[in-house]
């Protein structure tokens, strides 16, 4: 019965305690014995556990009894990081309510605000929840005031909890039952369900996590995905749970569940698509569907050239799990054969690179990430480039368009000057500035490329870690940009080319080669490093020669020492790529991020 179902999400800034609270709610509903409870149950991927972040949205169906009435609580966990904001929006669209968790020792942050906007777009009932009240520095009154001020949310009714100790969690679950509206779908209408997550299971194949709005999904039913047009019959249905999924014959109106279709890839079941009955389809598609769009691109190359096919196989396998990765073969004069891969953002890229290395045992070189540029050529043609080295000759380029984001930044007043200076330096354009207590909420348009470079690190360091930041893409705008090339020992290293604002080309070029000089180890000969724009050399540095063989100092005698030194050198070399005669370490390809 829909009247007894509550679908809710938890939204919070990173580290405000979302996963800890999810664990506590699961425990409080008694669906996991205490001895099976491991910290952060909802974060199932190894990398999630190690980094303490939520990457894939997870959901769980729980049973709860209040005043003798049985309720089904569907807790829909959302990923916290900006890279995964599309998943956040789909998860929220599957709920009727959301717990807005704010850390009582910290207060409202940029991500809290960004997620609240998405929740409001979806007309969700928001329950303000102040967490970590067990800590001595907790200041719940101030935090509630901030929520009212920054978000305009009435906090008369709120919950104070400690997700860690469990204090106030039972009362919070009662509030969910009382205050989150129940689903109100049409049980007689044709099947209409939203795919809000999908992933690949080695045993079951592609799985879709869905929220059923109207009608129901039954075992054996022939379904159609309305955007991708794929049709398939339902092999099995399950209710989600981190430890014990339960099989069911039907996912009813208002419920969430896992649909097993026996598909071998995720292609057909894109997040955001509408599932309906193939013979009796619903009239309306659930709107807001967007195919996964990579924003950040980087070259990924095997260190050993004969591992190219292994890398292709590994990327293909990962793509089954994560349809937001894209890749195509690319060859670099410097790095040989590899792939240009697209990611949702920087964190996503790091996670994928780590998984390729760990799960597939590959040694990789990744080039510095870049955004996509749209180029209007002088002959009127429009092209899209994913690699700076693809930029046509200046004489053929009329305008370069670069992607922009709307950035939301929250910063204590005392650091405001620093942050505004940084934003100006990063070509930011101010839209709005509001005071919230002793902090300032900034709304800026910013070139996405500046964020890909090092914006976040700089923001953290100029504000002693007190600023928070979130962003969303807002489209392309023309920029006054040009390509900067780097030559090592006289050869252009295509993998080091970058696109920079024209008025910063000189200073960037100088800094870049200075950084490279520190990173490229001394060789047996002198190595020139040059920065150039077109055919003009704008800066030059030299790596002096060592002039001697390093093992020479172990004059014969100590064989073990000599071997150790050679092994150490070998290990060091693994992360190097020979460019001409020069060994260039992985760090050099990322050096541009640090200038
Ligand atoms: P992401 O999944 O990365 O978005 O973070 P999160 O919001 O899920 O935060 P998480 O649950 O990982 O908690 C962050 C840290 O705060 C962890 O070290 C928790 O142990 C701690 N924490 C969470 N809730 C409480 C609380 O009520 N009291 C105290 N003292 N610590 C808490």
149 burial type by CB count under 10 A (0-12 exposed, 13-18 middle, 19+ buried)? middle
296-367 maps to CATH 3.30.70.870: yes
Beta strand ranges found along 454-588 (DSSP E): 468-479, 481-488, 491-492, 498-501, 527-533, 536-543, 576-579, 582-585
Q: Cα–Cα distance between 535 and 205 in angstroms, integer?
A: 53
Top CATH class, 373-479: alpha beta
Asked whether residue 17 is marked as a ligand-binding residue, the answer is: yes
Beta strands in 536-575 (DSSP E): 536-543
Q: What is the Cα–Cα distance from 250 to 257, expressed in whole angstroms?
A: 9
Q: What is the 3-state secondary structure (H, E, C) of 176-222?
A: HHHHCCCCCCCCCCCCEEEEEEEEEECCCEEEEEEEEEECCEECCCE
Q: CA 306 to CA 286: how far, in whole Å?
A: 46
Residue 387: closest CA among 447, 327, 455: 327
Token pair, residue 352, equals 């994928």
Tell how far the Cα of 315 is from the centroid of ligand 1, in angstroms: 33
Q: What is the pLDDT of residue 534?
A: 86
Where residue 346 falls (left for φ over 0; alpha for ψ -120 to 50; beta otherwise) is alpha
On whether 44 is known to bind a ligand per the annotation, the reply is no
pLDDT digits (tens, 9 = 90+) for 273-330: 999 999 999 998 988 777 777 878 999 999 888 899 999 999 988 887 677 888 999 9
Considering only CA atoms, which of 1, 592, 2, 595 is closest in space to residue 298? 592
- Strand ranges across the sheet with 246-248: 231-233, 222-225, 274-277, 192-201, 205-214, 256-260, 236-239, 246-248
Phi, psi at residue 539, to the nearest 5°? -160, 155
For residue 52, what pLDDT is reported? 40
Question: 466 near 456, Cβ under 8 Å?
Answer: no
Residue 417: phi and psi, rounded to 5, are -55, -50
Q: Cα of 10 to ligand 1 centre, how many Å? A: 13
Ligand 1 center to 83 CA (angstroms): 20
| Per-residue model confidence (pLDDT) at position 571 | 52
Alpha helices in 416-483 (DSSP H): 416-425, 448-450, 456-462
Q: Give the pair of three-digit tokens for residue 88.
A: 């956040």
Q: Give the distance (Å) from ligand 1 centre to CA of residue 111.
A: 15
Torsion of CA 88, 89, 91, 96, to 10 degrees: 130
Residue 19 annotated as part of some ligand binding site: yes
Residues 183, 189: Cα–Cα separation, whole Å: 14
Residue 399: predicted pLDDT: 96
What pLDDT is attached to residue 51? 44
Question: pLDDT digit string (tens) for 31-76?
Answer: 545 545 555 555 555 544 444 444 444 789 999 999 999 999 999 8
Cα gap 380→58, rounded to integer Å: 47
Which sequence spans correspond to the domains of the chain? 2-179, 192-277, 296-367, 373-479, 485-593
Q: Give the binding-site residues of ligand 1, using a 6 Å CB cut-off.
A: 12, 14-20, 52-54, 80, 131-132, 134-135, 162-164
Q: Which atom of ligand 1 is nearest to the CA of 132?
A: 27
Is domain 192-277 annotated with CATH 1.10.1740.10?
no
User: Helix, strand, or coil here: 19?
Assistant: helix
Number of neighbours of residue 344 by Cβ within 10 angstroms: 24
Question: Quick one: DSSP state of residue 273?
Answer: P
Report, as ranges of residue numbers, the positions in the chain whose pLDDT lies below 50.
32, 35, 47-57, 551-555, 572-573
Q: Report how far residue 101's alpha carbon sits from residue 12's, in angstroms, rounded to the nearest whole number.
A: 5
CB 471 within 8 A of CB 82: yes
d(CA 488, CA 510): 14
Mutate to test the pocket of ligand 1, among 12, 14, 15, 98 (most ligand atoms within 8 A of CB): 15
β-pairing, 364-366 vs 582-585, is unpaired
pLDDT for position 42:
54
Q: Which residues of 261-391 form beta strands (DSSP E)?
A: 274-277, 296-302, 326-332, 336-343, 364-366, 373-377, 382-385
> For a substitution probing ligand 1, which of 19, 135, 168 has the most ligand atoms within 8 Å of its CB?
19
Q: Do domains 2-179 and 192-277 have the same CATH topology?
A: no
Per CATH, the number for 2-179 is 3.40.50.300
**What pLDDT is stored for residue 567 in this prediction?**
60
Q: What is the pTM of this model?
A: 0.74
Whether residue 131 is annotated as binding a ligand: the answer is yes
**DSSP state letter for 547:** -
**Distance (Å) from CA 79 to ligand 1 centroid:** 14
169 membership: H or E segment, kind and range: helix 169-179
The domain made up of 485-593 has a fold known as: Alpha-Beta Plaits (3.30.70)
Q: At what angle do helices 308-321 and 346-360 cross, to 10 degrees?
A: 120
């Amino acid at each position: 019965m829909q009247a007894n179902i509550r679908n809710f999400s938890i939204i919070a800034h990173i580290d405000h305690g979302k996963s800890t609270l999810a664990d506590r709610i699961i425990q409080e509903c008694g669906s996991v014995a205490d001895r099976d409870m491991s910290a952060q149950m909802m974060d199932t991927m190894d990398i999630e556990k190690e980094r303490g972040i939520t990457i894939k949205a997870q959901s769980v169906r729980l049973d709860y009894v209040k005043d003798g009435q049985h309720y089904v609580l569907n807790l829909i966990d959302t990923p916290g990081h900006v890279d995964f904001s599309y998943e956040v929006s789909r998860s929220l669209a599957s709920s009727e309510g959301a717990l807005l968790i704010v850390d009582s020792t910290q207060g409202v942050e940029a991500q809290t605000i960004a997620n609240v906007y998405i929740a409001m777009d979806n007309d969700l009932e928001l329950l303000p929840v102040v967490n970590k009240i067990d800590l001595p520095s907790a200041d719940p009154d101030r935090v509630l005031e901030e929520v009212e001020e920054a978000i305009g949310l009435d906090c008369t009714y709120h919950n104070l909890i400690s997700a860690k100790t469990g204090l106030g969690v039972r009362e919070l679950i009662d509030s969910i039952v009382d205050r989150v509206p129940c689903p109100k779908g049409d049980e007689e209408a044709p099947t209409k369900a939203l795919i809000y997550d999908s992933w690949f299971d080695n045993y079951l194949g592609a799985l879709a996590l869905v929220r059923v709005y109207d009608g129901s999904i039954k075992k054996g039913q022939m379904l159609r995905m309305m955007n991708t047009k794929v049709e398939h019959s339902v092999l099995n249905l399950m209710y989600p749970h981190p430890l014990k999924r339960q099989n069911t014959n039907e996912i009813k109106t208002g419920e969430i569940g896992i649909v097993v279709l026996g598909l071998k890839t995720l292609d057909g079941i894109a997040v955001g698509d509408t599932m309906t009955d193939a013979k009796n389809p619903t009239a309306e598609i659930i709107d807001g569907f967007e195919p996964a769009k990579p924003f950040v691109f980087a070259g990924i190359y095997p260190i050993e050239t004969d591992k190219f096919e292994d890398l292709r196989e590994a990327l293909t396998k990962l793509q089954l799990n994560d349809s937001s990765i894209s890749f195509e073969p690319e060859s670099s004069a410097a790095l040989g054969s590899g792939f240009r891969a697209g990611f949702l953002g920087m964190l996503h890229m790091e996670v994928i690179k780590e998984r390729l290395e760990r799960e597939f045992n590959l040694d990789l070189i990744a080039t510095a990430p870049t955004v996509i540029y749209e180029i209007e050529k002088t002959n009127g043609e429009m092209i899209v480039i994913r690699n700076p080295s693809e930029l046509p000759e200046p004489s053929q380029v009329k305008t370069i368009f670069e992607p922009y984001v709307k950035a939301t930044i929250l910063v204590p007043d005392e650091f405001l000057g620093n942050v505004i200076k940084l934003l100006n330096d990063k070509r930011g354009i101010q839209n709005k500035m509001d005071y919230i207590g002793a902090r300032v909420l900034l709304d800026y348009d910013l070139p996405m490329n500046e964020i890909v470079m090092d914006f976040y690190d700089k923001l953290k360091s100029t504000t002693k870690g007190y600023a928070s930041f979130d962003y969303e893409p807002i489209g392309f705008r023309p920029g006054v940009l040009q390509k900067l090339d780097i030559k090592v020992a006289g050869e252009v290293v295509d993998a080091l080319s970058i696109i920079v604002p024209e008025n910063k080309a000189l200073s960037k070029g100088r800094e870049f080669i200075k950084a490279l000089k520190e990173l490229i180890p001394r060789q047996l000969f002198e190595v020139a490093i040059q920065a150039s724009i077109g055919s003009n050399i704008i800066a030059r540095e030299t790596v002096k020669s060592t002039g001697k063989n390093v093992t020479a100092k172990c004059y014969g005698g100590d064989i073990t020492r000599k071997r150790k030194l050679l092994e150490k050198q070998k290990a060091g070399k693994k992360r190097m790529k020979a460019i001409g005669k020069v060994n260039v370490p992985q760090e050099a390809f990322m050096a541009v991020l640090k200038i």
